[in-house]
Chain A
């Protein structure tokens, strides 16, 4: 066995410090990754070129491309269509949603790179989280883990398994079939999802709720707080009997409730109706206001307040309409006029909800208000209409109105380029990064999204985290540290039961994959364990299989590509991964060994 060299000690120190920093989080994980990237060449453990080779790696480029593709799909509304059937099946319960998406992603990632599947689902999960107001931290981690676990269902699901047969060839061992691992893989997926469904509330971060709200709703938080919320109401069929006609203006005066949409029976929708529109019987209303005011209105006007949005669900969806704050600009022609004169409802089909002036909020009778420079008007409307108003230039919008303008007309192109990329991957077996970048480029060229939007969609935290860990893997292998650890551990075990030996191999592979890449770990460990297994009279194919599977058991640190990808959007900390990941890793090893015992009789 090799002696322990200075370089090996240095590598072990760097690994130790990296893990320490991941745990204590004195700096963010991506900064730790950059630290590693810089330290290794300074210590002469890798060459400067190797230090930054991560940025050109297949995985990192694939992630960049797949994020752009995902953004393109989201921009065209395709993701919404994809999400709809899932939500239909799963309903609104978070655990059922997690289960449904987890199974879907596991099946997809069993045939394609799990990072690809994870990135494609990311915008969909974010949308579900926003729509159903489920903290995103409760969704992303279980789904990300399922994507990783899904990689073990077929022999083409993850890189280590793809490599496995090639690594067995020199030993003249029988190669594995495509579905040989399927029973084990399915057992792993099911047990992983079960863990989250049963124990989710204990192992998932609970504090994620506030942070998600902050990230998702920060734009609208301030105006919304002042003018209440959205409610849907309906009028009974005998509403207009025995009473004077009630107009939208009256409701505003009496209850400070703004009707922003109404149906004309039977089902014609009027968005931003004129204020003298009469409320008819059997109509549906979409109203903005404080809950107490809306309740008061429903009660005294005999309307039915619905529990959730129904008819107008799409009209208030974040991508079609919203609330903005707009300030009367200096030298604006609006200064000195009243809202009645400006007639925003009539001219732009948007509804002014309130006026802020010198720290006071005015909600009642704002039509007669003489506007002054510096007055902020809270306006509700469709993004399209708000943009028209913005272009007029008399109001300065303090909230961006082009937040999420969908381009449904480009959906065909988005779908086309996604299928081009998938065909290249699955049929022509071209390198993943090339295929995905082709798809991303195609979307930019066909104007599904512009190049600036593409750049903005990329999460650089993820890119630097992954790119920074790659040289650590290189250093661990190049200095012989990995081989030394593996040999030391296996030498120390001595003569044991085959099942114990497989467990040790599983644990070792798990530890390796946390630090070095799963491919690196597989290439390094398979020859070693095959030899060892032959010597110990254990099935060498099973030993190799354990390595191939257990190198997907990377949950404890956010070093796996999928975990790195989901860490930013999910606002997770390393501790969150350690908490949930430790449990899943232990379950993984137990289930894997158990399944191998059951299905292969070792």
Chain B
């Protein structure tokens, strides 16, 4: 079985597709629940969380790291939810996180711009020009955010296994294709791929635990061996090391944890 992520813009019918796929395959369907869970778990007001996840960081926010901290909370909640497999996710900012996990079907749903403008006009009761501007602004915001977080453009089709344009294809067609893809052998969960997912979950947990005090860290994990990378000064790295060691007992699944300072950070670090 697999994890399906659906990346979508507003009014692109992605949500509808996701819910129908979930229904047909008997998978769980996740979106806003993750935000609720994260805000609940880490005691952050939901509205702050949504803002942090939805909007690209402002200049000021780039300095105080609060957004990154919220994001780490969110990612931690997200990975823990999808770790259990058989789930469809169509929320924000989660897709690229699972890039390295083999049993993830990465889907991008796009819709015709005119259709989207019509939907926006109908729902918000506004003029065509305003709806057009609002949709483009929303797309731009999401693009900037993904750029700042992962350095990738969400409109780059190379990031996905499947890109479906809902226009001539109907929602039902899209559901068919996605279900077909999810049944393929190459997306089946194996021991190795599940291990990757578990490692990723662990990375997010460790990062969340350390992020508040040490925002500028990157974490990798392979088979439970966690490595925390920092560019901080020696004495700070030393404190970080002490704190990291205590996590070994707190978080399940950590086999070994080390802090490496001032070494090249591998590209797959989070």
Contact = CB atoms under 8 A, between A and B. Distances in A.
B262 interface: yes
A368 B220 CA distance: 14
Contacts of A368: 260, 263-264, 266
A255 B223 contact: yes
B140 interface: no
Count class of interface residues, chain A: 10 to 19
Contacts of B238: 358
B225 A369 contact: no
The 10 closest A-B pairs by CB, nearest first: A254-B223, A253-B222, A368-B263, A364-B258, A364-B225, A254-B222, A364-B227, A362-B258, A365-B227, A256-B256
B125 interface: no
A244 B192 contact: yes
A250 to B, nearest CB: 9
A244, A358, A365 interface centre (most CB from chain B within 10 Å): A365
Contacts of B258: 362-365
A41 B233 CA distance: 71
From A244, A254, A363, A364, name the one whose CB has the most chain B CB atoms within 10 angstroms.
A364
B255 interface: yes
Contacts of A293: 255-256
Interface in B211-270: 222-223, 225, 227, 238, 241, 255-256, 258, 260, 262-264, 266
B260 A365 contact: yes
A360 B266 CA distance: 22
A254 B260 contact: no
Interface string B179-200: 0000000000001100000000
13 contacts: A253-B225, A254-B223, A254-B225, A255-B223, A256-B255, A293-B255, A358-B238, A363-B256, A364-B227, A364-B256, A368-B260, A368-B263, A369-B260
Contact of A253 (B192, B223, B262): B223
Interface string A239-269: 0000110000000011110000000000000
B206 to A, nearest CB: 13
A370 interface: yes
Contacts of A364: 225, 227, 256, 258
Nearest to A358: B238
Nearest to A242: B190
Given A253-B222, A365-B227, 7 more contacts: A255-B223, A255-B225, A256-B255, A358-B238, A362-B260, A363-B256, A368-B264
Contacts, number: 40
A550 B223 CA distance: 69
Contact of B263 (A358, A360, A363, A370): A370
Nearest to A362: B258
Interface in A361-383: 362-365, 368-370
A373 to B, nearest CB: 14
Contacts of B256: 256, 293, 363-364
Interface of A: 243-244, 253-256, 293, 296, 300, 338, 358, 360, 362-365, 368-370
Interface of B: 191-192, 222-223, 225, 227, 238, 241, 255-256, 258, 260, 262-264, 266
Contacts of B260: 362, 365, 368-369
Nearest to B264: A368
A364 B244 CA distance: 14
A369 B262 CA distance: 9
Contacts of A255: 223, 225
Contacts of B255: 256, 293, 296
Contacts of A369: 260, 263
A256 B241 contact: no
B267 to A, nearest CB: 12
Contacts of A254: 222-223, 225
B223 A360 contact: no
A369 B260 CA distance: 8
A223 to B, nearest CB: 17
A439 B200 CA distance: 69
Contact of B225 (A256, A300, A358, A360): A256
A539 B255 CA distance: 80
B9 to A, nearest CB: 36
A370 B238 CA distance: 16
Nearest to A292: B255
Contacts of B264: 368
A360 B234 CA distance: 12
Contacts of B191: 300
Contacts of B223: 253-255, 300
A555 to B, nearest CB: 53
A338 B263 CA distance: 9
A179 B225 CA distance: 71
B68 to A, nearest CB: 24
A106 B195 CA distance: 62
A289 B266 CA distance: 24
A157 to B, nearest CB: 61
Contacts of B192: 243-244
A335 to B, nearest CB: 14
Nearest to B245: A360
Nearest to A361: B258
Nearest to B199: A254
A370 B191 CA distance: 34
Contacts of B225: 253-256, 364
Contacts of A243: 192
A552 B215 CA distance: 79
A16 B221 CA distance: 71
A360 B241 contact: yes
B123 to A, nearest CB: 49
Contacts of B266: 368
A277 to B, nearest CB: 19
B195 to A, nearest CB: 8
Contacts of B222: 253-254
A243 B222 CA distance: 18
A236 B266 CA distance: 33
A248 to B, nearest CB: 14
B102 to A, nearest CB: 11
B256 to A, nearest CB: 6
B182 to A, nearest CB: 22
Nearest to B191: A300
A362 B266 CA distance: 17
Contacts of B262: 370
A2 B60 CA distance: 112
Nearest to B238: A358
Nearest to B241: A360
A261 to B, nearest CB: 22
Nearest to B263: A368
A363 B260 CA distance: 11
Max chain A C-beta neighbours (<10 A), residue from B223, B256, B266: B223
B239 to A, nearest CB: 12
Nearest to B223: A254
A362 B258 CA distance: 7
A249 B257 CA distance: 18
Nearest to A250: B222
A190 B87 CA distance: 78
A296 B254 CA distance: 13
A293 B225 CA distance: 10
B265 to A, nearest CB: 9
A463 B266 CA distance: 63
A296 B256 CA distance: 13
A237 to B, nearest CB: 20
A338 B192 CA distance: 30
A365 B258 CA distance: 10
A557 B254 CA distance: 58
Nearest to B226: A364
B260 to A, nearest CB: 7
B139 to A, nearest CB: 39
A26 B72 CA distance: 67
A296 B253 CA distance: 12
A484 to B, nearest CB: 75
